[in-house]
Amino acid sequence: MIEDRVETFDAIIVGSGQAGNPLALALAKEKWKVAIVEKAALGGTCVNTGCTPTKAYVASARAAWAIANAPNLGIEVPKSPKVNLKSIKKRKDKLVNQSRLGIRKSLADSPQVTMIRGTASFIDKTRLKVGSRVLKSYKIFLNVGARARIPEGFEDVDYLTNTSILQLEKLPERLIIIGGSYIGLEFAQIFKRLGSKVTVLEMGDYLISKEDQHTSEQVREVLEKESIKVICGAHCLKGKNKKSDSVTVSFQKDGKDQKISGTHLLIATGRMPNSDLLKPEKAGLDINKRGFIDVNSKLETNIEGIFALGDCNGKGAFTHTAYNDYEIMEDQLFGEKKRTLDDRIINYALYIDPPLGRAGMTLSQAKESGKNLLFARMPMSEISRAKEKGETQGKMEVIVDAETEQILGAAVFGTGGDEIIGTFLTAMYGKLSYKTLMKSVQTHPTVTELIPTLLQQLKPIKN
């Protein structure tokens, strides 16, 4: 009898990601008996194959770039730098392991939490199977994340994903990257700076299509200046291994058949949610057309007692949005029940160098909103601190609602852009009039000190 073997918990969390781990600890603090199920390494994508390892590589790549760029700042470098991917990987692995260990320790230190290794799938809406174990709860929290989406046409080829590329110990000689968006571009610059020849193939007409075309063109300029080859408008891609050490990608551009060859191929064509692994149909869960688990603004699914948090609900695709889902959940369970998804202002950074920090609407989205808009843009080349650093590529721009005077969106593409964007974001969360920020006195010499000047340049813009 299955019921004899059922282990009952106050809550089951599936996935030890950016929402699952803090939620397990929060529930345990309230004396709930919690099971957390994880099929792979603790910490999920961000810790193991996403933010932490990639940003460790970005730092190594920046060091290689800084040496190559040193003569521009009056520093003579005797010979070209030697890149040791094995050591770069070792440093990255150490950072990843530290995070994993921290998570393992915090979960193990809580007697209320049972860690269960394996893939969970639904039996029905209150029971999950993990190997031969059956777990039961009336509160189930799904934090199953996403994985690399592989398009058709690559069945006959050895390819890398964000996971396997981080295991390489030898630098790819000629790296082809399919997908010119966040993942593809970060890896493109990392490996180019470390010494690979890099080509990016993107299906769309321009890179990072979620951004304004102006931003996309500036990003392309930065990458091309570093001799990264970018091909947009590449359709019907197909991959083939010619020999074991070579890969060919054929595609159509402007109606013509073309081919390129490389030693390695990275596929970075988006993510697909891991909801399918859960056998959601057994619980009757609503899954949308793109595979995400449908939730309302309180993260409730269509089944009472089942909630979905993080990348798998399709409401955010970042570590901070997954963590915010945890915060919402905690407030809904134990707090004032006031926090919802509706409060969130979209923000993120693209970690090429210089980084692109983004908050709120793009200019195209703002124009579509039909609001009366004020807009200003300033090139980084006019900003003293950027000139002093010798890093003048990029821009700062801001969009304001002319009626409410509130900031609707901002982009800072340039040195420190990932941090500077926080100033706009704070004003947006505080619902400040742009005039308050315009009258603020900021520290000299910083890029931020030009935000008041940027706001003084606001002008009406047509929709």
Ligand X SMILES: NC(=O)c1ccc[n+]([C@@H]2O[C@H](COP(=O)([O-])OP(=O)(O)OC[C@H]3O[C@@H](n4cnc5c(N)ncnc54)[C@H](O)[C@@H]3O)[C@@H](O)[C@H]2O)c1
Q: Residues marked as binding for NAD(+)?
A: 179-186, 202, 270
Binding mask 264-303 for ligand X (x = CB under 6 A): ----xxxx--------------------------------
Q: Which residue has the tokens 């010119």?
A: 180
Which tokens in the block code for residue 443?
A: 């520290």
Q: How many CA atoms lie within 13 A of 430 on its CB side?
A: 12
Binding mask 133-152 for ligand X (x = CB under 6 A): ------------------x-
Does residue 26 interact with ligand FAD by CB under 6 A? no
Does residue 181 interact with ligand X by CB under 6 A? yes
Among 12, 34, 35, 37, binds ligand FAD (CB under 6 A): 37
Strands 235-241 and 247-253: antiparallel
Binding positions for FAD are: 55, 311
Q: Which of 214, 235, 320, 444 is catalytic?
A: 444
- 184/409 with CB nearer ligand X: 184
**DSSP 3-state assignment of 234?**
coil
Which tokens in the block code for residue 327?
A: 């915060």
Among 13, 16, 194, 301, binds ligand FAD (CB under 6 A): 16
- 184/239 with CB nearer ligand FAD: 184
Binding mask 182-201 for ligand X (x = CB under 6 A): xxx-x--------------x
For 59, residues 6+ apart whose C-beta sits below 8 A from its C-beta are none
Phi, psi of 231 (to 5 degrees): -120, 110
What is the secondary structure of 56-72 as a DSSP string? HHHHHHHHHHHHHHGGG
Pair 413, 185: CB distance under 8 Å: no
Please report, as residue ranges, which positions from 337 to 376 form the binding site for ligand FAD (by CB under 6 A): 351
Active site residue 444: yes
- 202/391 with CB nearer ligand X: 202
Which tokens in the block code for residue 331?
A: 């407030």
Burial 143-167 (b: 16+ CB within 10 A, else e): bbbbbbeeeebbeebebbbbeebbe
Does residue 280 interact with ligand FAD by CB under 6 A? no
Does residue 209 interact with ligand X by CB under 6 A? yes
d(CA 237, CA 24): 43
Binding mask 218-237 for ligand X (x = CB under 6 A): ----------------x--x
Binding positions are: 55, 179-186, 202, 270, 311
Specify which residues 140 forms β-bridges with.
Answer: 12, 306
DSSP 287: B
Pair 44, 18: CB distance under 8 Å: yes
Give 82: exposed, middle or buried? Use CB within 10 Å, 0-12, 13-18, 19+: exposed
Burial 388-412 (b: 16+ CB within 10 A, else e): ebebbbbbbbbbbbeeebebbbbbb
Does residue 418 interact with ligand FAD by CB under 6 A? no
Residue 301 CB, shortest distance to ligand X, in Å, is 22
Does residue 19 interact with ligand X by CB under 6 A? no
Tell me how many residues contact ligand FAD (CB under 6 A). Answer: 35
What is the secondary structure of 29-44 as a DSSP string? HTT--EEEEESSSTTH
Which tokens in the block code for residue 195?
A: 């010494």
Does residue 180 interact with ligand X by CB under 6 A? yes
- Using CB under 6 A, which of the segments 43-51, 235-243, 353-361, 368-376 binds ligand FAD? 43-51
- 268/455 with CB nearer ligand X: 268
Does residue 161 interact with ligand FAD by CB under 6 A? no
> Footprint of ligand X on this chain (CB under 6 A)?
151, 178-184, 186, 201-204, 209, 234, 237, 268-271, 317-318, 348-351
> Footprint of ligand FAD on this chain (CB under 6 A)?
14-19, 37-40, 44-46, 49-51, 54, 119-120, 143-145, 162, 183, 274, 277-278, 310-311, 317-320, 322, 351
- Catalytic residue numbers read 444
